Amino acid sequence: MSLFISDAVAAAGAPSQGSPYSLVIMLVVFGLIFYFMILRPQQKRGKEHKKLMDSIAKGDEVLTTGGLVGRVTKVAESGYVSIALNETTEVVVKRDFVAAVLPKGTMKAL
């Protein structure tokens, strides 16, 4: 008898092998779970954000990812948007950094 391995474990034969298809089936199931839980919702959010970016027009009230709220004064074809924060301050941000288009009158309510 060995000091580290008991006789019962040492006497046992090779462990029985499962079906080789069980691993493939398990990988396919995990792949489907990954697709439906992570990839598909991310693609859906990406499409919605792209549609939002294409719908930005002059006069829209927007919220940027940095937390700025303002009214769009100019939309450039190069992908930049000019946003008036108040009567005197105007900033230029990349169109991708617009997080949401707000309902009309939101700036006055703040």
Q: Read off the pLDDT of residues 41-84 as tens digits, 9 standing for 90 and up.
A: 999 999 998 898 888 999 999 999 999 999 999 999 888 999 99
Pick the CATH number of 57-109 from 2.30.30, 2.60.40, 3.30.70, 3.40.50: 2.30.30
Q: Closest Cα partner for 81 from 98, 102, 103? A: 98
Q: Mean pLDDT for the chain? A: 86
Alpha-carbon distance 68 to 57, whole Å? 17
The two structure tokens encoding residue 77: 């074809």
